[in-house]
Amino acid sequence: MGRLLEGALGDLDVGSRLREHLAVAAWPQVVGRLVGAHTWPERVRDGVLTVGTDSPAWAQELHMRKAELLAGLAAQVGQGVVKDIRFRSGRRRPPHPARGQRRREIPPPASRIRLSEEEIAEAREAAGKIEDPELRAKAERAFLALARMSRWQEQAGWRRCERCGQWQRTGRRWCSSCLYRGRRKDAK
């Protein structure tokens, strides 16, 4: 049982995925208000952070500051999470707030979110069923990281899919996986 759980946790790669999400969330704090107003992080894939920019000039400027930005990200989310940054100009621009309204505040990184005693007890109870002490400690850390990430997503305005309950950033009722499964069933 212990080997099976260790393999499953390793396959999920929860820790590195959490740090990748944190790198996207940390971008505005790393670059500051001015640069953050002209850029937006899109995703981290295989250690490469993709960032959209307002114009080619911003992409060029930030490309020249890449080493500084990588160091700032490493300080926020850990060394080696983001190994490179690619800049795209003129891509998807996040909507501007209405005149007179402020942008929605980004919650603190998930690593700084404090869990309740009840949530910590749940994670310990779930991991407590594992006999191997080393694997039990890894599972507990993974369960706590998932709880923090879930709380962060809720604070960042993510919604749960009405069909499967997974967190999603879009305003749709169903996540893309459920939409795809629904279309496949309709096609048969």
Residues 108-128 pLDDT 10s:
666 678 888 999 999 899 899
Question: DSSP 3-state assignment of 128?
Answer: coil
Q: Where are the beta strands (DSSP E) in 8-163?
A: 39-45, 48-53, 84-89, 159-160
Distance of alpha carbon 140 from alpha carbon 177, whole angstroms: 28
Instruction: Determine how many CB atoms are found less than 10 A away from the CB of residue 138.
Output: 19
Q: Is 85 or 181 the better-scoring residue by pLDDT?
A: 85
Residue 26: both structure tokens together: 């940390």
Residue 32 to residue 114: CA distance in whole angstroms: 25
Give the pLDDT band (50/70/90) at residue 99.
Answer: low
pLDDT number for residue 67:
93
Per residue in 8-63, pLDDT (tens digit) is: 545 555 556 667 778 888 888 888 888 888 888 888 888 899 998 888 888 999 99
Could you tell me what percent of the chain has a pLDDT over 70? 74
Q: What is the pLDDT of residues 81-97, one digit of tens each?
A: 899 999 988 755 545 55
Model pLDDT, residue 170:
64
Rounded to the nearest integer, the mean pLDDT of the chain is 78
Q: For residue 6, what are the contacts with CB-CB under 8 A and spacing of at least 6?
A: 132, 135, 138
CA distance 167 to 150: 8
Dihedral (Cα; 15, 21, 24, 30), 10-degree rounding: -40
Instruction: Determine the Cα–Cα distance for residues 80 and 9; give it in Å rounded to an integer.
Output: 20
Residue with tokens 């940054």: 85
* pLDDT for res 44: 87
Neighbours of 6 (CB within 10 A): 16
